[in-house]
Amino acid sequence: MTEAAPHSEPPRLDPQPITLMQAFWFWLKLGFISFGGPAGQIAIMHEELVERRRWISEKRFLHALNYCMLLPGPEAQQLATYLGWLMHRTWGGVLAGVLFVLPSLFILVALSWVYLAFGDVPLVAGVFYGIKPAVAAIVLHAAHRIGSRALKNNWMWCIAAASFVAIFAMNVPFPLIVLVAAIIGFLGGRYFPEKFNGSAAHAAGQKNYGPALIDDHTPTPEHARFSKKRLACVVLTGVLLWVVPMGLLTLTLGWANTFTQMSWFFTKAALLTFGGAYAVLPYVYQGAVGHYGWLTPTQMIDGLALGETTPGPLIMVVAFVGFVGAYVQAAFGPENAFVAGALAAALVTWFTFLPSFVFILAGGPLVESTHGDLKFTAPLLAITAAVVGVVVNLAIFFAYHVWLPQGLNGQPDWLSVLISTGAVVALFYFKRTVLEVLGGSALIGVGLVFWGGLS
């Protein structure tokens, strides 16, 4: 009787080269399934590209992610752009980044139109009634997620508390909070490095999933090597892609026109999104609601609810802001309200994401030239701590407008309070996903409409 051979995992075959067309279909698919915010989107890419398809090793994947985490802008979209560029040169990066965003743009334009055209229909109203209280809980949960990563000592807690007081009690502009936090982080990293050590401990949990197309020791491809000429070309192209449309808008419509101001405002927002979409939302609120009056506080909450329920980066809520602002103001006349809204949504998406492509295509070769630790993590850590305070303020802002729709002198909406409480329990205690919480809250809202619980 022969002894059975010990069980062993079958050897992994070397992954086959991927054509640009194969990559195109993958990035398009990712654009439609990238739910769950940055954490969920990065997890999907890790599972697909590192574990299943083995297009890139975990070490190289995390190296790229570390760089994207240092940048302003949506890190998941930037990571997709970086990986696409590393595999298939500039066009690969452009395809990956665009396809990560494009499906959510079309979906949000359609949903924004439905929201404005049919928002008073009982079914739609019920859905939004249920979702809005859940959004306050989701934002609070986001603050907890960011805080659990950033608030590692009393210094970080103090920065978070100070940023909350600054924006809540003193209405300090978000860009100033980011600047001060960066200065504190820079000085702290220099004089108190043990308190401002933001190096991520990714390496401890790394696994070997087998050989990858771009492995740990795969030489840097020619197109990913640093070149002053290539850097100048990318920067010049990025500047032209910003200057030409901005110049045309200014010359044809004027600087004060809604489309021009939206383009300028969201260019600034794109450069301030350290810490992800939740960090920049207060800045978008201050400008879009408080300064320009493009939409109301309630519409802003509804827009975030739509952003949470669609694939793609959460910062795509800017498309909703642009659509609503141009649609309501009837920038091209009442008969062309949809055209105005769709154009505004496309413009703000362009100006929001253009810097991300420039950062990746210009900075990628610098990152690939050395696989050492990235610098300037201390300012980023301080900014992330400040973001926690800003996001807590955002949660309070949403809760106030949902729970007290008539202000402090009015009666609380106890049904909304109850839905928010249930969402908090579902997220924190039962560990349900954002989509599950939003879906359950929407069903509750529809049920209240049809059972007569809402007037």
Residue 7 confidence (pLDDT)? 46
Write the single-letter amino acid at 209. Y
Q: Which two tokens stand for residue 150?
A: 């950033």
Angstrom distance (rounded) from CA 14 to CA 54: 9
Domain boundaries, the chain: 101-198+226-450
| Mean pLDDT along residues 241-251 | 97
Residue 272 confidence (pLDDT)? 75
Residue 210 confidence (pLDDT)? 77
219: pLDDT strictly greater than 90 = no
Sign of CA dihedral 128, 285, 113, 107: negative
Residue 423 confidence (pLDDT)? 93
Residue 323 confidence (pLDDT)? 96
Angstrom distance (rounded) from CA 215 to CA 372: 16
| Mean pLDDT along residues 144-157 | 84
| Mean pLDDT along residues 228-248 | 96
Residue 376 confidence (pLDDT)? 58
| Mean pLDDT along residues 266-280 | 77
- Residue 138: CB partners within 8 Å, gap ≥ 6? 308, 423, 427, 434, 437, 438
| Mean pLDDT along residues 419-445 | 90
Residue 284's pLDDT band (cuts 50, 70, 90): confident
Residue 305 confidence (pLDDT)? 80
Residue 332's pLDDT band (cuts 50, 70, 90): confident
67: pLDDT strictly greater than 90 = no
| Mean pLDDT along residues 261-275 | 86
In degrees and rounded to multiples of 5, residue 454 shows phi and psi of -120, 140
| Mean pLDDT along residues 163-186 | 87
Angstrom distance (rounded) from CA 322 to CA 329: 11
164: pLDDT strictly greater than 50 = yes
Residue 211 confidence (pLDDT)? 84
What pLDDT, in 10s, does the model give residues 10-20? 455 667 788 99
373: pLDDT strictly greater than 50 = no
What pLDDT, in 10s, does the model give residues 166-175? 989 998 877 7
Helices (H), strands (E): how many in the chain? Answer: 16, 0
232: pLDDT strictly greater than 70 = yes
Question: Residue 52 burial (CB < 10 Å; 0-12/13-18/19+)?
Answer: exposed
SS3 255: coil
Residue 134 confidence (pLDDT)? 87
Q: Worst-scoring range by mean pLDDT, 153-167, 246-260, 425-439?
A: 425-439
pLDDT higher for 337 or 175? Answer: 337
pLDDT higher for 418 or 301? Answer: 418
Q: Worst-scoring range by mean pLDDT, 30-34, 220-224, 273-277?
A: 273-277
27: pLDDT strictly greater than 70 = yes
Question: Residue 208 burial (CB < 10 Å; 0-12/13-18/19+)?
Answer: exposed
Residue 52 confidence (pLDDT)? 85
- Residue 200: CB partners within 8 Å, gap ≥ 6? 62, 66, 69
pTM to 2 decimal places: 0.75
203: pLDDT strictly greater than 60 = no
| Mean pLDDT along residues 144-150 | 77
The chain-wide mean pLDDT, for the chain, equals 84
2: pLDDT strictly greater than 70 = no
For 248, how many CA atoms within 13 A lie in the half-sphere containing its CB? Answer: 6
Residue 4's pLDDT band (cuts 50, 70, 90): very low
Angstrom distance (rounded) from CA 184 to CA 383: 9
What pLDDT, in 10s, does the model give residues 116-142? 988 777 887 788 888 888 888 887 887
157: pLDDT strictly greater than 50 = yes
